[in-house]
Structure 1
Amino acid sequence: MTIWNFANPAVIDENNRMAQNFAAVSALGYPEDLPVLAFLSQQLINANPEWHPAHKRQLEPLDRSRLVVLPGGHYLHWTHSQEMGESLRKFLR
């Protein structure tokens, strides 16, 4: 699937607009009353140590949030669907 999507026109356009898009949303956050369950990859945290604290700060203002760190790479839903499903069930209770 990754190869199929690699370098298609939409992906190239998204990549070219990345800095512009980040700047456009940098001051945005979630509504305080929106429950948010977020998953992070330990591999990405290891590559960018600011990744975890930045996500924690993003969730701090929320009434109900949870941040789950799982071992693995970017596509956690491919390798940790069971753990993610269980976390979702617990979060929804």
Structure 2
Amino acid sequence: MADTSKIREHMELVGADGVHIGTVDRIEGDRIKLTRKDSGQGSHRGHHHYIPTSLIAEVDSDKVWLSANADVAAELFEEEKNDPT
């Protein structure tokens, strides 16, 4: 697993295929919390999504790269309803 201490707020999260997945809000435990602006459509809209840090392949100066392609990573999103933050 990559060094999560290098991850900063507002870094872009991308899949192994280079496709945008979201924008980092912060690290919470063993998950990356994404900003609400990347929350999606319909019932997903307005909720924070989380992705496990175990999927991080690399962190460079402005992007967090995952080991999975974007479509696969999106299936692994965790969502918290009624998220107050």
Shorter-chain TM-score: what band?
Answer: under 0.3
Q: Which has the higher contact order (CA 8 A, sep 6+)?
A: 2
| TM-score of the pair, normalised by structure 1 | 0.24
| TM-score of the pair, normalised by structure 2 | 0.25
More strand by percentage: 2
More helix by percentage: 1
